[in-house]
Structure 1
Amino acid sequence: MRSIEEIKKHYNWNEEDEKHLKQMKDIAIKHKDNFVNKLYEYFNIFEDKDRYLKDEKIKERHKAHLQAWFLELFEGNLDHLYISKAQRIGTRHVQIGLPPHYLNSSMNFVREFIESLVIEKTADANEKIKILKSIDKILDINLDIITEAYREEEFKTYLGTSKIQKIFIETIQGVSRSIDLFIVTIMSFLAIVGGGWILYEFVNLVLGRVSPESTALEILGSTLILYAISELLNEELKHLKGAPLSLKVFAGIALAAIIRKILIISLYPKKSIELLILGILMLFIGIVYFIINKVERR
């Protein structure tokens, strides 16, 4: 981690910045509760926020920490103790597995919240600009320190493994990535073939070469399958970029396949038992899809 002297030098931090922040201290105290409430409203955009804020006890403790951090921004005391607290924030976020994106986007919200206060409560235009610049500095310094703590903690974890373990992990990661690329290639090929087949059947339908009723249902069913393949392809692309793989996509594909089969069988009255079995199977997979979706949102 960089020294306090380096940080101040690189961000051109000076006594004027401390003074500007302290000017906003009284306003910050008045709006500390509103800050936490608004920030928690913002957290609702993260679908899996409950994975990190699991119960009311954790939420209350977290709110208290947020409020304390918010007020300390306006103390203007950029010293070793302040840097140490920011480092612990980064370390703790790594320990609970919080994605850095959540931290960065939340910091952007904090910046907008504070800047709106400065704009609203500061009358003098020149003073307003100076305070806003100091706000940007202290928030960027916080983000810099916390991000650095993220990297150091993750690097320590990596160094904790032996050389053989590292080679094994890197080899497995390479194989896994190759498999993902292969799946994406196959899915792309299937999507092209499926789209071509739908177009071919549609042309036959328009030209009157096939039965309108059965062909229309087959086209509808195949469109569902094509849509499911598209969703799986998008999910694989996200996975290649580092996102976790969602199981609900596979349940969705199974549902699409069963619906397609039901559409086709519905043309044959004698297959009512098979239709009933497929209906029960569709209900079962639908329940599984609902459960997976609910779990992944936590």
Structure 2
Amino acid sequence: ELPSKHKHWLLNLFKGPYDNNYYIRLIKIGRVHAEKQISPHFVSSTMNKIRRMLIDLLSEEIEDRIYRTKLKVAVHKLLDINLDVITSSYVEEEIEQFSTAFKLKSTLVSFAERFSSTMNLVLIFSLIMITLGVVGLFFYDIYRMFQGDLSHGIITALGSLLILWVLIELMNTEIAHLKGGKFNISVFIGVALVAFIRDLMVTTLKHEKLELAYYLVAAILILGVVYWLVIRSEARKNP
């Protein structure tokens, strides 16, 4: 079992992605070493052996000197990061043994992480159930469209589609977050934008006061501009 775990770590060393989940895995590796009372000097020595092995392998296999140098630098950085994160668990373990406050903090943080993960799963499940409900509502609107007023049915069906689009975007954002990605603010602005568009559709359908429609149109234009600016900003940060 141990060789397979070492192989898994080595493959992930070059596979990535190097996100928060990768960091958490390294922390867990360090904690296991600390719990097994494996000396940090042994970890450092083993890491140096792996470093020499990889550097020698690059020297043998890569002929291009410039490219080989870049790869060696990358390997050094990856191993340094891994060694630093893994050995930091030893420091935390020692502090935890002598500090009651640190124990309490670790317990609270651990509970908060588990609670957050559980709530994320609850959120995903809720979004799935609501999405299925909206899909049913859309087909019901289609059914009503052929049973009565065609224009009324088209507008209500479009409203259901807008809600469905919002739910799908929220679900994709939450899934990306669970995988270690970042929240995109544009998604939440899009939710507000869709809500105003739907309100405008309902207002025109019910032939309510014209002033309300003007306010909704103005809000949609403002949110549209904000949405466009945020999308551009996110595109620059995540090319």
Q: TM-score, normalised by structure 2?
A: 0.64
How many equivalent pairs are there? 183
**Aligned partner of 2:115 among 175, 178, 182:** 175
Q: How does 1:230-269 map to 2 (within 5 A)?
A: 230-269=168-207
Report the aligned-residue RMSD: 3.0
**Aligned partner of 2:223 among 279, 282, 285:** 285
**Aligned partner of 2:83 among 149, 152, 174:** 152
- Asked if structure 2 preserves the Cα contact closer than 8 Å seen for 1:194 and 1:222, the reply is yes
Task: Measure the CA separation in 2 of the matches of 1:256 and 1:14.
Answer: 55
Deviations 1:121-169 (A, max 9, x none): xxxxxxxxxxxxxxxxxx3x65543222222333466645733322222
What's the offset of the Cα at 1:241?
Answer: 1.5
Deviations 1:157-192 (A, max 9, x none): 664573332222211111111111111111111100
Determine the structure 2 residue equivalent to 1:13: 56
Q: Quick one: percent identity of the two aligned structures?
A: 21
- Asked if structure 2 preserves the Cα contact closer than 8 Å seen for 1:225 and 1:256, the reply is yes
**Greater relative contact order (Cα < 8 A, sep 6+):** 1
Determine the structure 2 residue equivalent to 1:118: none
Task: Measure the CA separation in 1 of the matches of 2:58 and 2:232.
Answer: 51
- Asked if structure 2 preserves the Cα contact closer than 8 Å seen for 1:191 and 1:226, the reply is yes
- Asked if structure 1 preserves the Cα contact closer than 8 Å seen for 2:135 and 2:164, the reply is yes
What's the offset of the Cα at 1:263?
Answer: 1.6
| Partner SS, residue 244 of structure 1 | coil
- Asked if structure 2 preserves the Cα contact closer than 8 Å seen for 1:214 and 1:264, the reply is no
What's the offset of the Cα at 1:218?
Answer: 1.0
What's the offset of the Cα at 1:194?
Answer: 0.3
Give structure 1 stretches of 5+ with no counterpart. 29-69, 74-109, 111-138
Determine the structure 1 residue equivalent to 2:143: 203
Task: Measure the CA separation in 2 of the matches of 1:6 and 1:197.
Answer: 59
Q: TM-score, normalised by structure 1?
A: 0.53
What's the offset of the Cα at 1:199?
Answer: 0.6
